[in-house]
Amino acid sequence: MGRSLMPSYRIHRLKDHLRQYFRHAPHVSGAAIVKPRDYTPGDSVEAKSPYAAFFDLRGSSTPLEPGDLLESDSGDLRIFKFVGFEEARWVIPEAKIEPSEPVSSQNESSSEAIAIPAGVE
């Protein structure tokens, strides 16, 4: 068979109300940190590279725009900027940790508080 599989990229479109902010945001070095809530999942495109995907979509009704993401099958993210594609990572919100014991109230005895050594006042 000898047929090689073309990589597939999932398109994540930056929400329209954030495009103006992205346009004026300063360029940062290193991986861009992006929030899933700022993107709308879109179609997929098969291409040899993110740049090939850009050129394939350029003449379509839905070209890639600055701020859009391409996610590879392996989960690697590339963000389309005015200077080309750069690495990006999803920001993962921290899980809220709930206390296992109720928080003590101020009405409890101070003898249960932190012990103060004798002779210290």
Report how far Cα 93 is from the mean position of its chain's Cα atoms. Answer: 10
Average pLDDT over residues 70-99: 89
d(CA 53, CA 63): 9
Residues 6 or more apart in contact with residue 36 via CB below 8 angstroms:
90
pLDDT at 3: 55
Give a yes or no: residue 100 inside a domain.
Answer: no
Give a yes or no: residue 54 inside a domain.
Answer: yes
Total domain count, the chain: 1
pLDDT at 5: 81
Q: What is the per-residue pLDDT across 26-79, written as a single tens digit (0 to 9) for each? A: 877 889 999 999 999 999 999 999 999 999 999 999 999 999 999 999 999 999
pLDDT at 14: 96
Give a yes or no: residue 31 inside a domain.
Answer: yes
Indicate if the pLDDT at residue 16 is higher than 70.
yes
For the chain, state the CA radius of gyration: 25
- Comparing 119 with 2, the larger pLDDT belongs to 119
Domain assignment of residue 55, given as a range: 13-90
Give a yes or no: residue 60 inside a domain.
Answer: yes
